Amino acid sequence: MGSKGVWMALGILLCWGSLLAFLLAFYRPNWATPWPYLLALLQMHLYTGLFITAHDAMHGVVSANKRLNNALGTLAAGLFAYNWFPRMLPKHHDHHRHVATPDDPDYHDGQHAGFLPWFARFAWNYVTVWQVLLMAATYNVLKLFFPQANVIAFWMIPAVLATLQLFFFGTYLPHRGEHAPDNVHKSRSQFRHHLWAFVSCYFFGYHYEHHDQPYLPWWRLWRTKHA
């Protein structure tokens, strides 16, 4: 792995921060054109990259240096709506140990397996009151310095959309429905298409492969489709 995981993490952090700074401080959107919407989607993709970086850190694959690994994971998680890495870490490992069972914090309650009720339970398990308060406070500070429409369109909405993206491609699609008895990870994978797999969720749609080889960072996961 070497230092590549660190450079990947720093690259995502830099791209996210640079684009957000530009969109808040300098960009004046013309809502009659497609550009502000495309830029919001790009920012959403980078928000997703923040979470994927934190997720890789949960598996210890950002850096072999544990302190650096956890520091980058904490930073990436915190920039994504004030997620708290030390709180998420044990929950994510519970997901891997107890996938698609009542002890899986990412799974539905066994009765309400539809997208919206499952997402509501997922959010309830992870979102805290402190996150909501910090997001509200940050919003009120940001709008003092930047156009309110830009703050909503490029800071707030992309974070919400990225949360839905991560849940849809990383939890709902892979773990919904019944799984074959010999499917030890109770997971399924999307079809092999590397460009779509990256654009949709940083190869997280190759989900069975992730559960089977959780020691692989996101940028190596595509190789499992050639194995």
* Residue 65 lies in domain: 4-176
208 located within any domain: no
**What distance in Å separates the CA atoms of residue 136 and residue 46, rounded to the nearest whole number?**
21
218 located within any domain: no
Residue 184 is predicted with a pLDDT of 78
Residue 131 is predicted with a pLDDT of 96
203 located within any domain: no
132 located within any domain: yes
Residue 1 is predicted with a pLDDT of 58
131-181 pLDDT, tens digit per residue, is 999 999 999 999 999 999 999 999 999 999 999 999 999 999 999 888 787
61-77 pLDDT, tens digit per residue, is 999 999 999 999 999 99
Q: How many CB atoms lie within 10 A of CB 135?
A: 16
214 located within any domain: no
Task: Indicate the number of domains in the chain.
Answer: 1
147 located within any domain: yes
Residue 47 is predicted with a pLDDT of 98
Helices in 156-218 by DSSP H: which ranges?
157-167, 173-175, 194-201, 207-212
Contact 67, 190 (CB under 8 A): no
Report, as an integer, the average pLDDT of 33-57: 98
155 located within any domain: yes
215 located within any domain: no
